A and B are shown apart, each in its own frame.
Chain A
Amino acid sequence: MNDKEFRAEASETVEALARGVSQLDSGLKTGKVSPALINDVFRAAHSLKGVAGLFGVEALGQLTHTMEDLLDALRLGKLPLTSAVLSALDDAVEVFQKLVAGGRENDPKLLDALTRVAQRMAAVRTGDGAEPEGRTLADLDLPQEFFTVLTEYEEHRLSDSAARGVPLYLVHAPLSLDGFDLALAKLTDLLKARGELITTLPSSQSGPGGIAFDMLFAGEMSAEEVKDAIGALSDQYTVTTIGRRNTPAPKEPPPLPVERETDTGVPAPATLAETVRVDIEKLDRLMNVVGEMAVAKSGIARVSEMLKAAGQANHTPVLELQKLARVLERKIDELQSGIMEVRMVPLAQTFERLSRLARKTSREVGKDVQFITRGEDTELDKLLMEQLSDPLIHLVRNAVDHGIEPKEARLKAGKPELGTITVSAQPRGHHVLISVEDDGGGLDEVNIRRTALERGLVTEERVGSLSRRELWNLIFLPGFSTRRETTDLSGRGVGMDVVRTNISRLSGMIEIDSNPGRGTRFTLTVPITLAIIQSLVIRVRGRTFALPLNGVLEILAYEPNLLRTVEGREVFQTRKGSVPLLRLGDVFGFGGEDNPRGYVVLAGVALNRVGLVVDELVGQQDIVIKPLGRLLKGLRGIAGATDLGEASTVLVLDVGGLLEEALGLSAAA
Chain B
Amino acid sequence: MSATRALKVLVVDDSGATRQMLQAAVEALADERGERADVDTAASGLKALQLLPGQNYDLILTDINMPDVHGLELIRFVRQQPQHKDTPILVISTEGAEKDRQKALALGASAYLVKPVEMAALRKAVEGVWPAEKVR
Separation of A6 and B49 alpha carbons in the complex (Å):
26
Q: A203 near B77 (CB under 8 angstroms)?
A: yes
Q: Can you name the residue of chain A whose Cβ is closest to the Cβ of B68?
A: A200
Contact of A149 with B18 in the complex, beta carbons under 8 Å:
no
CB <8 Å contact, B80 and A204: yes
Chain A contacts for B99, CB-based, 8 A: 151-152
Interface residues on B, range: 35 or more
Q: Is the CB of A151 within 8 A of B100?
A: yes
Which residues of chain B come closer than 8 Å to A46, judged between CB atoms? 65, 94, 115
Does chain B have a CB within 8 A of A51? yes
Contacts A9-B17, A204-B53; A68 near B64 (Cβ below 8 A):
no
In the bound complex, residues from chain A placing their C-beta under 8 Å from that of B49 are: 180, 202, 211
Is B106 on the interface with A (CB-CB < 8 A)?
Answer: yes
Cβ of A49 < 8 Å from any Cβ of B? yes
Q: How far is the CA of A52 from the CA of B17 in the complex (A)?
A: 10
The interface residues of chain A lying within 8 Å CB-to-CB of B74 are 202
| Interface residue A13 (Cβ < 8 Å from any Cβ of B) | yes
A43 at the interface (CB under 8 A from B): yes
75-99 of chain B: CB within 8 A of chain A: 75-77, 80-81, 94-97, 99
Tell whether A256 is near chain B: CB-to-CB under 8 Å.
no
Residues in A with CB closer than 8 Å to B14 are 43, 47
Please measure, in the bound complex, the distance between the C-alpha atom of A209 and the C-alpha atom of B47, giving whole angstroms.
16
- B7 surroundings in chain A (CB, below 8 A): none
Kindly state whether residue A631 has any CB partner on chain B within 8 Å: no
Say yes or no for B58: interface residue by CB 8 A criterion. Answer: no
* Chain A positions within 8 Å of B115 at CB level: 46, 49-50
Report B27-44 CB contacts with A as 1/0, cut-off 8 Å. Answer: 000000000000000000
Q: Mark A195-228, 1 if CB is under 8 A from B, else 0.
A: 0000111111000010100000000000000000
Q: Considering only CB atoms, which chain B residue lies closest to A277 in the complex?
A: B16
CB distance from B52 to the nearest CB of A (A): 9
From B45, B53, B69, B76, contact of A148 by CB (8 A): B76
Given contacts A184-B46, A202-B49, contact A51 B15 (CB under 8 A): yes
Q: Select from chain B the residue with minimum beta-carbon distance to A202.
A: B77
A150 interface residue per 8 A CB criterion: yes
Please, how many angstroms separate the alpha-carbon atoms of A181 and B49 in the complex?
Answer: 9
User: Is B50 touching A151 in the complex (CB atoms < 8 A)?
Assistant: no
Q: Is the C-beta of A470 less than 8 angstroms from some C-beta in chain B?
A: no
B131 beta carbon closer than 8 Å to chain A: no
Contact B68 A188 (CB under 8 A): yes
Choice from A54, A68, A200 contacting B96 with Cβ under 8 Å? A68
Q: Which chain A residues border B50 with CB–CB below 8 Å?
A: 177, 180-181
Q: Given A46-B65, A51-B17, A52-B116, decide whether A149 and B97 contact each other with a Cβ distance below 8 A.
A: no
Residue on A with the closest CB to B99?
A152
By size class, the interface of chain A is: 35 or more
Say whether, besides A47-B18, A49-B116, A201 and B73 are in contact (CB < 8 Å). yes
Verify if A243 is at the interface (C-beta below 8 Å from B): no
Q: A151-B70, A202-B69 are in contact. Are A72 and B100 (CB under 8 A)?
A: no
Given contacts A47-B15, A72-B97, contact A61 B65 (CB under 8 A): no
Contact between B76 and A149, CB atoms less than 8 A apart: yes
A10 at the B interface (CB under 8 A)? yes
* A13, A150, A200: the one within 8 Å of B69 (CB): A200
Minimum Cβ distance to chain A for residue B50 (Å): 7
B100 close to A149 (CB less than 8 A): no
With both chains docked as a complex, state the minimum distance between the C-beta of A544 and any C-beta of chain B, in angstroms. Answer: 49
Q: Once bound together, how far apart are the Cα atoms of A69 and B66, in whole Å?
A: 17
Shortest A207–chain B CB gap in Å is: 12
Q: Determine whether the beta carbon of B116 is less than 8 Å from that of A152.
A: no
Contacts of B69 in A (CB 8 A): 200-202
Cα distance A608–B72 in the bound complex, in angstroms: 65
Q: Mark each residue of chain A from 582 to 597: 1 if its CB lies under 8 Å from any CB of chain B, else 0.
A: 0000000000000000
CA distance A356 to B21 in the complex (A): 32
Q: Does A454 contact B (CB under 8 A)?
A: no
* Nearest Cβ on chain B to A25's Cβ, whole angstroms: 23
B64, B72, B115: which has the most chain A beta carbons within 10 Å? B115
CA A202 to CA B45, docked complex, whole Å: 10
Chain A residues contacting B103 (CB-CB under 8 Å) are: 148-151
Flag if A50 contacts B17 (CB, 8 Å). yes
Please tell me if the beta carbons of B15 and A149 are within 8 angstroms of each other in the complex: no
What is the CA–CA distance of A290 and B46 in the complex, to the nearest angstrom?
41
B129: Cβ under 8 A from any A Cβ: no
Pairwise interchain contact B96-A149, C-beta atoms closer than 8 A: no
Measured between beta carbons, the chain B residues less than 8 angstroms from A188 are 68
Seen from chain B, the residues whose Cβ lies within 8 Å of a Cβ on chain A are 13-18, 20-21, 24, 45-47, 49-50, 53, 63-70, 72-77, 80-81, 94-97, 99-100, 103, 106-107, 115-118
Q: Would you list the 10 A-B pairs with minimal beta carbon distance, nearest first?
A: A53-B116, A204-B80, A1-B20, A50-B18, A51-B17, A47-B15, A9-B17, A152-B99, A149-B72, A50-B115
Question: Can you list 27 A-B pairs with a CB-CB distance of less than 8 A?
Answer: A1-B21, A1-B24, A5-B17, A9-B15, A9-B17, A42-B65, A43-B66, A43-B67, A46-B94, A47-B15, A49-B115, A50-B15, A50-B115, A51-B21, A54-B17, A54-B21, A65-B95, A148-B76, A151-B65, A151-B70, A152-B100, A177-B53, A181-B47, A199-B73, A200-B69, A201-B76, A202-B69
Other contacts beyond A50-B13, A69-B96: 14, CB < 8 A: A1-B17, A43-B14, A46-B115, A47-B15, A50-B116, A65-B95, A68-B96, A177-B50, A200-B68, A200-B69, A202-B74, A203-B77, A204-B77, A209-B53
